[in-house]
Amino acid sequence: MPGEGAGRGLAAADKYYQDYGCRARELKGQGKRIMGYLCALAPLEMLTAAGFMPFRIKGDVNEPITKADVEMETIVCPFVRSCFDMSLKGKYEFLDGIVIPHACDSICRTYDVWKYTLNLPYFHLINMPHASDDPSLNFYKALLNTFRTSLSKFAGKEISDQSLTQAIQLYNQNRAKVRELYELRKASPPLISGAEVTKLLVAAMGIPVEEASELIGSVIEEVKQRGSVLAQKSARIMVVGAQIDNVAFIDLIEDSGAWMVADDLCPGARELFPYVDATDDPIDGIAERYLRKVYCGRTCRERKGSYQEYTEERFGHIGRSIREFSVDGVVLYIYKYCDPFGFDVPATKSYIESMGTPVLYLEDEYSMSTIGRLRTRIQAFLELIGSK
Amino acid sequence: MTEEKKPEKRRTATEAASRIGSMSKALISDALRAKEEGKPVAYTFIFCGYDEIIRAMDIVPAWTESYAGILGVKRDAQRFLERAESENLSRSLCTYALCGLGFDNWREELGEMPPNPPWGGQARPNVMLSSGQMICDPRYKWYQAAQHYMPDVPVYVGGLPWPPYEEDYDYREVEGYYVKYIVEELRGLIEFLERHIGKKMDWDRLSELVDLSDRTWNIISEAYDLRMAVPCPMGTGDAMNTMVPMVFMMGTQEAYNFFKDLYDELKYKIDNKIGVVPDEKYRLMWGGGLPSWFALGDFNYFNSKGAVFPVETTYRLLEPVYKLDLPKVSDPLEHLAWRWVKYWTYRYDKAKKRPGSHPDIEHLIEYIEDYKIDGVVMHEAFSCRSWHPGLIWQLNHLKKVYGDIPSLILESDIVDISSYNEADTRARIDAFIDTLEAVKSRGR
Amino acid sequence: MGEYLAGVDIGSTMTKVVIMNQAMLASVIGPTGPEHRKLANRVMEEALAKANLSFDDITYVVATGYGRINVPFADKQITEISCHARGVGYLLPEVRTVIDIGGQDCKGIKLSNGRAVDFVMNDKCAAGTGRFLEVTAEGLGVKLDDMGRLSLTAKNVAGISNTCTVFAEREVVAKLSDGVPLPDIIAGLHEAIATRIYGMVGRLKIEREVALTGGGAKNIGLVKALEAKLGYSVLVPPEPLLTGAIGAALLGKDIAKQAAENGIPLLRSELRLQEATFFT
Amino acid sequence: MVYVAGIDIGSAFSKAVVIAKNEIISYHVIPSGGNYKLTAGEVAGEALTKANLSFEDIDYTVATGYGASNVPFSNQVVTDISCQSRGIFYLFPSARTVIDIGGQFTKVFKVDDRGKATAFLLSEKCAAGSGRFLQVIARVLQIDLEDIGELSLRSQSRVDFNTGCAVFAESEAISRVAEGASKEDILAGLHSALAAKIQTMVERIGIEPDYALVGGGAKDIGLVKSIEERLGSGLLVPEEPQIVAALGAALIAEEKAASIEILH
């Protein structure tokens, strides 16, 4: 039954965050099959409908990358390298397989390294297109159906439209919960800290979706009950970037006298806000969502009209968050070797600045070793906002 | 940064390769002249799959990777890389793209070419033809970023993927919808061009050019296969020149003729036992990675040690068309799509035959055997995540499924010379030659 | 009136203290060692002695720089970005862009009426910082202070390809052994570091006037190399090492003034000056 | 009596070895300094003096190392990988994997049962994790390079050291000290960071005992211990780990001299 084993509230979130994977390990013990995945573009509805518990593979900023360097070049995105390193070090021994969407070069171009180095019974690359016009959408649907066939063969059970529709409902409920959670950040001071939110969202990546929804729900209750306990701080910060699955960087911001109140991140608003529409063929709704509703730099939106309209189309969601969450400054936090987000920096930065919101662009390496070095930048940025 | 001393004029083994300098210069000036004459110019990428279409519509391609590479060869890339860095573009990104964006940003700011641009500079495009295919992310991010400096220039993004190699299904089960998708994207490209260039596609001409490029694929394969000969008549150093007509002039008669000449020249060299090096000691394969354009002289250094490169996997993204068993189709776009998919899946069946193997590994094994290879050299260019992730794995896996073979991975970049040190690189080459000798002498 | 402000700037290689009222009364510069706290106290005492003041005469103390958290007696910590901005704005009001070349980092700061409005910073890699020159000077067996002067006599600048400081060191030693004249090599080093700095600070869209501060500003060869990149000459404050500490003192003054105006008491650190080391 | 010499001009230290009849007669080590030519003459001269010999007594000289081309009096230049293999084979015939921790590069290579290198790997194009790491730290902590090893073994709780840049190892160390970390713990942290990188290289080239450790880094007992821990195996360490390449050069020189003799 849903929620079984999942504790409640911030304490449970913290437990699942600290001991990431413990719930998956537990369920594996009870005979549940666990399917690992990399990146927010893996169609979770499909995994769930096939009877797997989807498990998001994460890295660890505290763990120096060693084993990965034996098989993988260091010119690959450090986040991907860390994920691979953790997998090689047996952190996710409970996985029955890994599903990898063609997100970016660092993921797609290392697919064979993952597949042939980790001995797992199942691997599948979803060769998602970078273009998003109608032919691309139809192609993507075909890919999803290939995946559907392949996965049901491995699951030994057919993936029915009905089970997909149920899964879609589960995830949409989860997404609604996340939106509700973000409402708590709009107050000033926010009712929940950025670090608390990130811990919760990371915890949610490692447990079944029903439990995740319940966990988020219980945190919402708890936070509403405790009321406004957070101190007033000098600035409300939004973090924009690829993937942040640890709180080290967010603690840095919040220890420097600001709150992180909004994001365009994975896990975060970019990945968790968009719903799947109910469609006759559930694949249509799923395809539409992952290709067109998740605003990731790896997906090339069609340019219709002027460049300005195009920029609005690409970054408008960031602008809306800045207004809705009354953001004072944006930290643009990009990893080294990240092609999809790295090339967007000039356009993203000038779009946000055109709204009169200051931007701090940081290039980082997914390692605790750099956190100390970022402190002065963050503090100076806050002083700069304060003196405005 | 002060540029390194200009490299010594590199010696080419073939007469054909020595013609390349002027040919690539012509490509740059063609685009510049086209601008003056008001002809349409398109930014685009090598192996974009658009060649025949662009040529058939008399659009002059400006190969942005090519120009960045030329800046590399001329050791004049740093100022453009710095320009890009000043634009908040990370130095860890594709340095071809950084050079190009640095150049665009500079040209757009001045309203004219940046100060003394090599070979007259990169012409401002009328359209930019991105590619959402699988080769690399910069192929759709680069021109998207370039719009930041040229907001008025329309961009087309077409997808040209190919089926990944998987055990859980056969590529034949999916190739149908891959081809269908590619055809739609190529048709989309033509509509886009007709709309923005205001010129209709001449379909008969397109068919002719597709047929011409088929024949060019064949003649290139036949010419390159001649390099199996001992002594080897042409090395990878030269192939890094002869790639120019292969990737920048596909679908032109000139390219076909060039490789016909190369074929004849290699035949002559073989008949007269003329090798790249007089006393051929080691036959090496360039098994992966783009070259450091500013350090092609290193190939001569290998030669000076009695080592030749009869074959490379880089810039040989083609096979004889008659080997690809393409279905007979009348639509030239459909033919292009099939050729693309069948090329990328060419070694899939072969891979399934050898336990635990993989098409990339089969590719290496095939060349090792056909070209009697003693060792594999690769280059890990830090800024490119297209060809360079997976090299270590390929070597490890090759040794696992096939057997041990001496290997060397050089580390530098395609155009960023600050990652290169000649003394250290050549020290590595010397050490590698020693290991080759040690392994060879065991065999004897 | 006798309002005395102190600014303490603990950089990665140098520690600076200034005491001001209307003007600067005393300043001390000393090398930063491992024992920041001990050092901060010592240098502060020295400055007080120079100004014939006791610690109790000081109205407010602001600490800045990479070791700012290790100044127990400071009333407030402010980043070197804000302090340099304030300091340069005070010393050279016409300046719009500050380039600070420290021992282990390099900053670019954009100014608008005496305040930082944007900045960039490098401390990921030693290339482009003072350490680059220190290390290579060692390799060349040249005193750091002589580097600038020597480079000016270069005939043709040697290309230094390695950006990694450590490898650059071995590269220059090799060049030296190959008989490349010392001045040419040093000029090459300045060229290399100026290039790194220009590329990074360029992100700010450099505007005139440009001021150069930090240890790097004392290196005439580096100054010339940067001016060549910029295409115009830069301003260098009389004591380029002190701008951070001066800015810190001035920001302290602003804080004191603000408090006085709002009639609220000035919040001060509990800790007074005493011999504290990291061992205790 | 046929005397031959091997000269190794490294980026940090230069070494000379004189041998006769396959036996070491004398050797000498000095810092390389700013002029390799002078250094070469000096280090060779010192070694000869120790052996009461003069340049005239030397039949054949092989030079190796980063500055090998600057040895005016050498008869031949041989790569340091071949010299090290030869030297290691002389000292430890059973060694199959050799780890060389030099001034700026770390090198791992395989030696076969004939003393020939059959594969090698060099550390990346950044001094992170090179021996330079330790030199820098020794200065910061105001201790002698020689004492680093002993000190680190007394570490109670290791500081996790994970800087990207060898030069910044310095500032990181400074701040750790400022935070109150002990010298011992900082050194232990450095050693484990370095050992981790080395383990990765060994695994990349393919695990094959016995392992030998040479180069300046081998003098650091703390580093040796922490590498042994990671590899889960003992390391063969020469008494004079710095002269292995020079020794190998000398041994190669002796073979040359012999073959020339035969010709005459």
Residues C198-215 have a mean pLDDT of 91
- pTM, whole model, 2 decimals? 0.91
In angstroms, the CA B424 to CA C195 distance is 23
Question: D133 pLDDT exceeds 70?
Answer: no
Of B86, B88, B421, the CB nearest to C171: B421
Main-chain phi, psi angles of C118, to 5 degrees: -160, 155
Chosen from D141, D142, D174 to mutate, greatest number of chain C CBs within 10 A: D174
Residue numbers in C near B427 (CB within 8 A) = none
Report the gap between the CA of A373 and the closest CA in chain D (Å). 10
The interface predicted TM-score (ipTM) is 0.88
Comparing C-alpha atoms, which of A170, A146, A129, A137 is closest to residue A44? A170
Pair C142, C59 in one domain:
no
The whole domain housing C107 covers 94-230
pLDDT at position C162, please?
66
How close, in Å, is residue D81 to chain A by CA atoms?
22
Together in a domain, C162 and C99:
yes
d(CA C159, CA B4): 5
Comparison of pLDDT for C196 and B193, the residue scoring more = B193
| Spatial separation of the C-alpha atoms in residues D143 and B285, rounded to whole Å | 49
- Residues C187, C153, single domain; the answer is yes
- Measure C12 CA to nearest chain D CA, in Å: 7
Interface contact flag, A345 B385, Cβ < 8 Å: no
* Least confident window among A239-243, B49-53, C13-17: C13-17
Cβ–Cβ below 8 Å for A64 and D199:
no
Compare CB distances from D163 to A67, A74, A369 and report the shortest one's residue: A369
**Is there a contact between D162 and A74 if contact means CB atoms under 8 Å apart?**
no
Q: Which of B87, B144, B380 sits opposite A75 (nearest CB)?
A: B380
Using an 8 Å CB-CB cutoff, list chain B residues near A154: 168
Nearest by Cα to B117 from B130, B97, B102, B129: B102
Residue showing tokens 């860390």: A82
Q: The tokens 């039949």 sit on which residue?
A: D59
Give B432→chain C minimum CA distance, Å. 21
- pLDDT confidence of residue A388: 64
Cβ–Cβ under 8 Å, residues B408 and B432: yes
Residue C47, pLDDT score: 94
For residue B1, the model assigns a pLDDT of 36
Quick one: pLDDT at residue C274?
61
Which among D66, D120, D204 is the nearest to B435, CB-wise?
D120
> D67 and C167 in contact by Cβ < 8 A?
no
Q: Compare CB distances from B86 to C157, C161, C202 and report the shortest one's residue.
A: C202
Measure the CA–CA gap between A90 and A87, rounded to whole angstroms: 5
* pLDDT of B270 higher than 60: yes
Confidence class of residue D151 from pLDDT cuts 50, 70 and 90?
Answer: confident
Taking only the tens place, the pLDDT of each residue in D25-65 is 999 999 888 788 999 999 999 999 999 999 999 999 999 99
Q: Are D125 and B423 in contact (CB < 8 Å)?
A: no
Say what the pLDDT of residue A179 is: 98
Yes or no, beta carbons of C124 and A373 under 8 Å apart = yes
* A104-149: pLDDT as tens digits: 999 999 999 999 999 899 999 999 999 999 999 999 999 999 999 9
Of the partner residues D32, D67, D127, the one whose CB lies closest to the CB of residue C164: D127
Q: Confirm or reject contact between C226 and chain B (CB < 8 A).
A: no
Confidence of residue C2 (pLDDT cuts 50, 70, 90): low
In this prediction, residue C278 carries a pLDDT of 35
Cβ–Cβ of B393/A349 closer than 8 Å?
A: no
Sequence ranges of the domains in chain D: 1-92+239-264, 94-237
* pLDDT tens-digit readout, C132-163: 777 777 777 778 788 778 878 888 777 776 66
Contact C173 D32 (CB under 8 A): yes
Q: Which residue of B has its CA nearest to D117?
A: B435
Looking at beta carbons, which residues of chain D come within 8 Å of C66?
Answer: 171, 175
Residues of C with Cβ-Cβ distance to B78 under 8 angstroms: 195
Positions of chain A with pLDDT under 50: 1-4
How close C157 gets to chain A, by Cα (Å)?
Answer: 32
Cβ–Cβ contact B174 with A under 8 A: yes
Chain B positions in Cβ-Cβ contact with residue A146 (cut-off 8 Å): 169, 173-174
Asked if A367 has any chain C CB less than 8 Å from its own CB, the reply is no
A75 touches chain D (CB under 8 A): no
Q: Which of B158, B163, B168 lies at the smallest CB-CB distance from A131?
A: B158
Mean pLDDT of B143-163: 96
A216, A218, A219, A224 alpha-carbon torsion, rounded to 10°: 130
**Cross-chain residue pair D35–C176, CB shorter than 8 Å:** yes
A8 class by beta-carbon count within 10 Å (0-12 exposed, 13-18 middle, 19+ buried): middle
Kindly list the residues from chain B whose CB atom is less than 8 angstroms away from the CB atom of residue C198.
Answer: 82
Q: Domain D94-237: what homologous superfamily?
A: ATPase, nucleotide binding domain (3.30.420.40)
Shortest alpha-carbon distance between residue B430 and chain D (Å): 7
What percent helix, strand, coil does chain B show, rounded to 5?
55, 10, 35
Q: What is the pLDDT of residue A3?
A: 43
Which H or E run contains C30?
Answer: strand C24-31
- B85, pLDDT greater than 70: yes
Give the strand pairing for C4-10 and C58-64. Answer: parallel
Mean pLDDT calculated for residue range B157-163: 93
Are C68 and C145 found together in one domain? no
Q: Which amino acid is at A324?
A: E
The pLDDT value recorded for residue B2 is 40
pLDDT for the residue D32: 86
Whether D1-92+239-264 and D94-237 share one fold: the answer is yes
All residues at 6 or more sequence positions from B287 whose CB lies less than 8 Å from its CB, including other chains: B312, B313, B364, B367, B376, B377, B378, B391, B394, B395, B407
Other beta carbons less than 10 A from residue D48's beta carbon: 22
D168 and C177 within 8 Å at the Cβ level: the answer is: no
List of chains touching A (3+ CB pairs within 8 A)? B, C, D
Structure token pair of residue B423: 């003394």
Read off the pLDDT of each residue in B329-341 and give the average, rounded to a whole number: 97
The minimal CB distance from C167 to the residues D127, D140, D178 is found for D127
- B418 touches D at CB < 8 Å: no
| Whole-number Cα distances in Å, B290 to A69, A354, B14, B98, C70 | 21, 39, 21, 16, 49
Q: How far apart are CA B160 and CA B183, in angstroms?
A: 9
Averaged pLDDT score across all residues of chain C: 86
When the candidates are 3.40.50.150, 3.30.420.40, 1.10.3720.10, 3.30.200.20, the CATH number that belongs to D1-92+239-264 is 3.30.420.40
User: For the segment C222-270, what is each residue's pLDDT rounded down to a tens digit?
Assistant: 999 999 999 999 999 999 999 999 999 999 999 999 999 998 888 888 7
Around Cβ A157, how many Cβ atoms within 10 Å? 13
Q: Which residues contact A332 (CB under 8 A, 6 or more apart)?
A: A240, A241, A345, A348, A349, A352, A359, A360, A361, A362
Closest Cβ–Cβ partner in A105, A142, A345 for B386? A105
Cβ pair D81:B435 closer than 8 A: yes
Number of domains chain C contains: 2
Cβ–Cβ below 8 Å for B418 and C191: no
pLDDT in tens, D199-249: 989 999 998 999 999 988 888 888 899 999 999 999 999 999 999 999 999
pLDDT value of position B443: 74
Sign of the torsion angle spanned by Cα atoms B176, B178, B180, B186: negative
| Cα angle: D173, vertex D177, D179; to 5 degrees | 115
The Cα of A375 is separated from the nearest Cα of chain C by a number of Å equal to 10
Q: Does residue D171 belong to the interface with chain C, where contact is any CB pair within 8 Å?
A: yes
Residues of C in contact with A363 (CB under 8 A): 124
